[in-house]
Amino acid sequence: MKNYTKYSPGYFVPPVCEHRWVAKERIEKAPRWCSVDLRDGNQALIVPMSLQEKLDFFKVLVDVGFKEIEVGFPAASETEYEFLRTLIEKNLIPDDVRVQVLTQSRPHIIDKTFQSLRGAKQAVVHLYNSTSLAQREQVFRMSKDQIKQIAVDGATMMKEYAARYPETDFTFEYSPESFTGTEPEFAAEVSNAVIDIWEPTSDHPMILNLPATVEMSLPHVFADQIEYMCDTIHNRESVIVSLHPHNDRGTGVADAELGLLAGADRIEGTLFGNGERTGNVDIITVAMNMYTHGVDPGLDFSNMPEIVESYEEFTGMQVGQRQPYAGELVFAAFSGSHQDAIAKGMNWIKEKNPDKWTCPYLPIDPHDVGRRYDGDVIRINSQSGKGGVAYILEQNFGFNIPKDMRSEVGYMMKDISDKHHEELSPQEIYDVFAAEYINDFKPMDITHAYFSHGSSTKEENRYSVTMHVLIDNEEFNLFGEGNGRFDAVSNALNKTHFNFEYDFVNYFENAMTVGTSESKAAAYVCIADKKGNKYWGVGTQPDIILASINALVSAINRMNKVTHFLDEKKNKWTQRTRVKVL
């Protein structure tokens, strides 16, 4: 890495700058947006889009809400020329949308560009020429005056050609390409020469686009350059200052945001940052960043999964799993502490302040971009915790498992994920939970139970039960009494004759409203053996008492599977090894 000595900054700091943008806390309103997916983004694809794919992608961009869409370089490619003509001739451009086309400062290219737009109601014609020191010296080998003359000649020709097509409302745009490698004073000089030729007005403004064709500086230096240009250009009130950041340093979004604070009015970029080299600025990220600050971005990303699917289909590119706001895993929490905080935060919002989003670890409500909580937010692997597993079971299946039970269930799921080196889906979590805890009727099952109100002792508010019970396929008739039906069953099962030897520890219940068309109740029972080891069972039934009895039977059977089995000859319990349920 000693070769670092051959590099030096290729950018230029403005001669004066007041740094007013530094004092601004946030972007207060959305800029004008221009999608360049169909031109800048398309030219960067290994296999550029077909005509039909471009037509379909254009519709997606219109549906998202773009009012300015750069559709190509019609003088440079027959496919792009045909695409533009198809949009115009088939009347596919909404009245409130301007298509934008790119042209170099050459007479034949400008001529064909305006021909391609004949019949359009409105359009942006984008003129550019490179102005950077490196381009002047190495590519064109021209002086500053010669470079400025290219811009002046192009601006003059565009004005003349536009007059030949009075049926179209043209907006002119100029870019000093490679702006970031251009001396700010010279960039302003060339831009002002173009502004003076086009003579924009507040009723009919022009666009001055300042592209970070190659990202060179830290974002704050780029912001200084933008502030300088906004203070230096002529007729500022009639000029829309636009930014076109690329992402060579990985700070394209920061360039866009600080550039807007510095006075820019417009952003050119692409969905998901597609573009040459490391790409253009990702308009979705910039727009959604504003959204999280309470600013309407003016673009609709409420169905992000559909936008991702369309983008991947048309471009052949893949949206990364960690792509901000859109990636498969951006809302996923695997960490136990994160899962617990998210679950508690969402419950708090629901109970206390549903109109304000303040959930820990989630800067945005996933529902706002068409994502779900189940399977999108809480993801279970070997790093997950009890809170995440409990949240999955509650949100997807209606089981509000007791706090004292969550550690046991959480560690069970973590252990399975760790041994199999796989993430567990919500359905897999439920399947394990159900097999381990819910309505477990082996080796013991209550086949019939007959209750009566009253007891042999004539005590009031007492219940008695007569039960038929199968234990390892052997039938028994049991009788018990208690202060309720559940208590009567428990007393019957806990008779010393059968030596079950358990103590009742805890009981919980909840109504189930998820994943079932009929009303059900879930009951959770915890018992302990004589050594103090605790065993949970879960029961479900429309009747809460029957659900409770199922939970008790399940807990006893779990105790049996974990520690004992019935020795029929001795009529007592002996040790055995637990068989894991996966």
DSSP characters for 63-110?
HHT-SEEEEE-TTT-HHHHHHHHHHHHTT-S-TT-EEEEEEES-HHHH
Number of other CB atoms surrounding residue 62 within 10 Å: 17
Enter the tokens of residue 45: 């694809």
Choose among 498, 505, 501: nearest CA to 479. 498
Q: In angstroms, how far is CA 381 from the centroid of its own chain? A: 20
Choose among 142, 221, 129: nearest CA to 175. 129
Quote the Cα angle for 406-408-409, to 5°.
65
Q: What is the pLDDT of residue 282?
A: 98
Domains for the chain: give ranges and CATH numbers: 31-315 (3.20.20.70), 336-421 (no CATH), 444-575 (3.30.160.270)
Choose among 376, 410, 412: nearest CA to 396. 376
Q: What is the pLDDT of residue 569?
A: 33
Going residue by residue through the chain (582 aa), what tens digit of pLDDT does each one get? 889 999 988 999 999 989 999 999 999 999 999 999 999 999 999 999 999 999 999 999 999 999 999 999 999 888 899 999 999 999 999 999 999 999 999 999 999 999 999 999 999 999 999 999 999 999 999 999 999 999 999 999 999 999 999 999 999 999 999 999 999 999 999 999 999 999 999 999 999 999 999 999 999 999 999 999 999 999 999 999 999 999 999 999 999 999 999 999 999 999 999 999 999 999 999 999 999 999 999 999 999 999 999 999 999 999 999 999 999 889 887 777 887 888 889 889 989 988 999 999 999 999 999 997 655 676 776 666 677 788 889 888 999 999 889 989 988 988 888 888 888 888 999 999 999 999 999 888 999 899 988 655 566 678 999 989 888 888 888 888 998 899 999 888 876 455 567 888 999 999 887 655 466 899 999 999 888 999 999 999 999 999 999 999 999 999 887 654 444 333 433 333 232 322
Choose among 417, 424, 415: nearest CA to 393. 424
Q: What is the pLDDT of residue 359?
A: 92
Determine if the pTM surpasses 0.85.
Answer: no
